[in-house]
């Protein structure tokens, strides 16, 4: 059983800080004995730019069986053999979660005495689990991790690479990426969600597991859209414990909803100001919002969807214009939506204002009845966050199913990247971008989409339109049922 945690850094913020955060020195391979076998921690790479820590659990299958004896569990006659010949040594199950919790316990609690400033600061994280038993498949993996701010790649592992006709195994190769989570948050997500996906806890679930779950789930579980499933599976389907956990979590959720503190918002705004520094005088993000508002106003839209609304900056701008009578922000990330709702001060808004705005959690890779019948939809800097193979699903959900009259899509123009001084050659603008397109590629995609779904499309530059490489942001405006493609000048 194996997982890796990687981060990137720079000379000022070296990636090797990961060693401090985990309390494990990058230059040493270490072994720890746990109840189920030996846990090894080693660093396949460790320099200022990139650092990866690997946790490998060598399961002692015999000890595991011995521990289980006397728990009064019967079983089919061949179960005895299955106890020895099974996937335990390879697959990342609840045992790996237990090892994670014991080997990285201070990191999980966010404690770092040597460098107390480190644990509270989010950093780019990449987590890989090569073989994850996932009951519920890739779809459930996404529903569990995406609301927490992770970008998820979940690929089924074939049963046997030499015999593809045998089909897929029940394992998934999981990659998680996040830019704004702390390591402690990441470890707590894994600690709970690995056993949830395995759905077969290998140890006794005692009543104090509820306390543990609430402790580890602090700050993310109460408002999670899959909370019921998480608690049920984590508590091994023990009904009374599950109910107890849910009652307590519901109180937490209500308290969180009342909480008008804006700590996260301050962070978000600070980060934004920092990111925008290089783009003086008018930040590109501001120009983008202005361009989008211009398109929406010109279209005469009153009811507008902001798809992939993130932390709600555009929703906030839309609210300031009474022409927009109904504004719906949709995002897959609960975390983003929580920050958006604080930014908008939804809880303190007057009734009339509040009736104009709704925030919805949902994934654009699935059709959603709630999104039908709107005048316009915006996809601002969203498509590049999806894996290319999933883009057709978004295309169908937006242009095939929701079918707003106007759709405004923006995405980076990769040709412009050579003009950013601070961007090393060949790098994407954001660690989470799955692709960045040339003008040609974006236009090719947009024209195909328009044709397939009966829209006309027009292209507009956002930001300075460089004679050689074009503008930093490219925008496509789709209009339903306009007979001819209107070409940009």
Stretch that binds ligand SAH, among 14-22, 100-108, 166-174, 382-390 (CB under 6 A): 382-390
Calculate helix-pair angle for 239-258, 209-216, nearest 10 degrees: 30
CB of 402 to ligand SAH, least distance (A): 12
Which of these, 459, 457, 354, lies nearest to 411 by C-alpha position?
459
Pick 217 or 308: Cβ nearer ligand SAH: 308
Beta bridge partner(s), residue 118? none
- 479-489 exposure pattern, b = at least 16 Cβ within 10 A, e = fewer: beebeeeeeee
Stretch that binds ligand SAH, among 182-190, 344-352, 378-386, 465-473 (CB under 6 A): 378-386
User: What is d(CA 105, CA 115) in angstroms, rounded to the nearest whole number?
Assistant: 16
Among 51, 334, 386, 456, binds ligand SAH (CB under 6 A): 386
Contacts of 64 (CB under 8 A, 6+ apart): 36, 37, 83, 88, 95, 202
Pick 341 or 380: Cβ nearer ligand SAH: 380
CB of 73 to ligand SAH, least distance (A): 41
Site for ligand SAH in 90-149 (CB under 6 A): none
CB of 358 to ligand SAH, least distance (A): 15
Interface with ligand SAH includes 380 (CB under 6 A)? yes
Pick 47 or 321: Cβ nearer ligand SAH: 321
Stretch that binds ligand SAH, among 5-13, 247-255, 358-366, 400-408 (CB under 6 A): 358-366
User: Do residues 455 and 480 touch, judged by C-beta distance below 8 A?
Assistant: yes
Interface with ligand SAH includes 341 (CB under 6 A)? no
Among 37, 133, 195, 308, binds ligand SAH (CB under 6 A): 308
Among 172, 336, 359, 407, binds ligand SAH (CB under 6 A): 336
Q: Rounded to 5 degrees, what are φ and ψ at 468?
A: -95, -50
CB of 446 to ligand SAH, least distance (A): 17
Among 21, 365, 391, 449, binds ligand SAH (CB under 6 A): 365
Among 119, 310, 412, 471, binds ligand SAH (CB under 6 A): 310
CB of 306 to ligand SAH, least distance (A): 7
Q: Which residue is nearest to ligand SAH (CB)?
A: 310
Interface with ligand SAH includes 363 (CB under 6 A)? yes
Pick 4 or 363: Cβ nearer ligand SAH: 363
Beta bridge partner(s), residue 52? 6, 45
Interface with ligand SAH includes 222 (CB under 6 A)? no
Interface with ligand SAH includes 436 (CB under 6 A)? no
Interface with ligand SAH includes 180 (CB under 6 A)? no
Interface with ligand SAH includes 178 (CB under 6 A)? no
Interface with ligand SAH includes 405 (CB under 6 A)? no
Interface with ligand SAH includes 332 (CB under 6 A)? yes
CB of 453 to ligand SAH, least distance (A): 19
Q: Which two tokens stand for residue 308?
A: 């992939």
Among 128, 180, 209, 331, binds ligand SAH (CB under 6 A): 331
CB of 146 to ligand SAH, least distance (A): 7
Which of these, 429, 127, 390, lies nearest to 284 by C-alpha position?
429
Residue with tokens 């040493």: 28
Interface with ligand SAH includes 16 (CB under 6 A)? no
Among 6, 231, 333, 406, binds ligand SAH (CB under 6 A): 333
Pick 15 or 365: Cβ nearer ligand SAH: 365
- The alpha carbon of 123 is separated from its chain's Cα centroid by a whole number of angstroms, namely 14
Q: With contacts defined by CB under 6 A, how many residues of the chain interact with ligand SAH? A: 16
Residue with tokens 């990137």: 8
Stretch that binds ligand SAH, among 162-170, 241-249, 294-302, 327-335 (CB under 6 A): 327-335
Pick 196 or 332: Cβ nearer ligand SAH: 332
Pick 293 or 364: Cβ nearer ligand SAH: 364
Q: Which residues bind ligand SAH (CB under 6 A)?
A: 308-310, 313, 331-333, 336, 363-365, 380-382, 385-386
């Amino acid at each position: 059983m194996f997982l890796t945690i990687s981060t990137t850094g720079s000379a000022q913020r070296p990636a090797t800080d990961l060693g401090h955060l985990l309390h494990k020195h990058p230059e040493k391979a270490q072994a720890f004995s746990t109840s189920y076998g030996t846990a090894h921690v080693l660093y396949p790479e460790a320099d200022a730019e990139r650092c990866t820590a690997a946790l490998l659990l060598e399961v002692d299958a015999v000890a595991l069986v011995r521990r289980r004896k006397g728990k009064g569990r019967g079983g089919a006659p061949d179960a005895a053999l299955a106890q020895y010949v099974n996937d335990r040594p390879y697959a990342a199950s609840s045992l790996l979660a237990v090892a994670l919790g014991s080997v990285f316990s201070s990191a999980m609690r966010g404690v770092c005495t040597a460098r107390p400033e480190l644990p509270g600061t989010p950093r780019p994280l990449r987590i890989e689990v090569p073989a994850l038993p996932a009951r519920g498949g890739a779809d459930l993996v996404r529903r569990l991790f995406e609301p927490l701010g992770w970008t998820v790649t979940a690929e089924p592992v074939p049963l046997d690479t030499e015999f593809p006709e045998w089909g897929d195994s029940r394992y998934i190769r999981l990659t998680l990426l996040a830019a704004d989570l702390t390591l402690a948050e990441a470890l707590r997500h894994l600690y709970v969600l690995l056993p949830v996906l395995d759905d077969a806890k290998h140890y006794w679930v005692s009543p104090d597991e509820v306390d543990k779950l609430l402790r580890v789930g602090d700050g993310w579980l109460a408002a999670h859209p899959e909370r019921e499933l998480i608690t049920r599976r984590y508590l091994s389907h023990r009904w009374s414990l599950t109910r107890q956990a849910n009652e307590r979590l519901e109180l937490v959720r209500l308290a969180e909803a009342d909480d008008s503190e804006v700590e996260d918002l301050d962070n978000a705004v600070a980060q934004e100001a920092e990111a925008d520094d290089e783009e003086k005088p008018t930040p590109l993000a501001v120009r983008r919002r202005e361009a989008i508002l211009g398109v929406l106003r010109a279209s005469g839209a009153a009811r507008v969807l902001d798809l992939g609304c993130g932390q709600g900056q555009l929703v906030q701008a839309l609210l300031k214009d009474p022409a927009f009578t109904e504004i719906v922000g949709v995002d897959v990330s609960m975390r983003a939506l929580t920050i958006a709702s604080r930014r908008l001060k939804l809880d303190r808004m007057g009734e009339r204002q509040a009736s104009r705005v709704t925030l919805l959690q949902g994934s654009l890779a699935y059709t959603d009845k709630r999104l039908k019948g709107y005048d316009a939809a915006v996809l601002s800097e969203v498509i590049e966050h999806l894996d290319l193979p999933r883009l057709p699903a978004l295309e169908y959900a937006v242009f095939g199913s929701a079918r707003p009259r106007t759709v405004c899509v923006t995405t980076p123009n990769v040709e412009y990247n050579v003009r950013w001084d601070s961007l090393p050659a060949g790098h994407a603008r954001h660690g989470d971008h799955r692709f960045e397109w040339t003008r040609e590629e974006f236009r090719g995609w947009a024209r195909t989409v328009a044709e397939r779904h009966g829209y006309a499309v027009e292209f507009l530059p956002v930001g300075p339109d460089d004679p050689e490489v074009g503008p930093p942001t490219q925008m496509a405006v789709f209009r339903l049922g306009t007979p001819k493609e209107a070409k940009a000048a």
